[in-house]
Structure 1
Amino acid sequence: MTPFTQKVIAVIRSIPEGYVMTYGGIARAAGSPRGARQVVRILHSMSRTYKLPWHRVVNVKGEIALTDDESSSLQRLYLLGEGIVFDAKGAIDLQRYQYHPKFEDELQLE
């Protein structure tokens, strides 16, 4: 596993209940500001294995990026269950709910 992948996993694990991060925000926190697509790949391939809170990751517009109806409905349900509110267009207010790791360089790598 690459160091970037380890950092991405650590960042995603650090997202607290009731907050979200964007794919790009996770990439930046993991040290690769242009690595958003890699974050997508890591989430897709490693969420189950590492028990990642995949539902707390949204796109830069605060929207659920999954196109599969079942998966996007499940993500929305999980986020609503954590107290996250969606606007009429289905977006999350990132000013209110976006998580910013305070000590990006000190995230625990397991």
Structure 2
Amino acid sequence: MKSAKKFVLSALFIAATAGQATAWAHATLQSATPAKDAEVTVAPKEVVMHFNEDLEPAFISAKVVDSTGAVVSTEKAALDAKDATVMKLAVPALSPGKYTVQYNAVGHDGHRRKGEYSFTVK
């Protein structure tokens, strides 16, 4: 009886651990330019976001909004031609102020990740 109980507990532990590994495999923002909470003196011409895995090009999006919530970006986000972990978004000339980048990314696991971060143009 004890060996059966150990077997069941071991099987449950393995199943729980395997499920967590899958959950951790979502596309996650690793770094960006401008960086989160950055204060830049020169307005960027594009936002560049680096993720931990290749993204699905048909399911990515990003926009930049100003401090009033108005969308200031007019282009569509695109993957870097040489690196599918990099999403780029061209932005028009930005005036001094605080901006928020809002993004959606889907990795090869099919799970959508939404996120946002802000930067300031001085």
| Structure with greater proportional helix content | 1
Indicate the structure whose relative CO is greater, using CA pairs within 8 Å and at least 6 residues apart. 1
User: Of the two, which has the highest radius of gyration?
Assistant: 2
Q: Higher strand proportion, which one? A: 2
TM surpasses 0.5 = no
Q: Give the TM-score normalised by structure 2.
A: 0.27
Name the TM-score, length of structure 1 as normaliser: 0.29
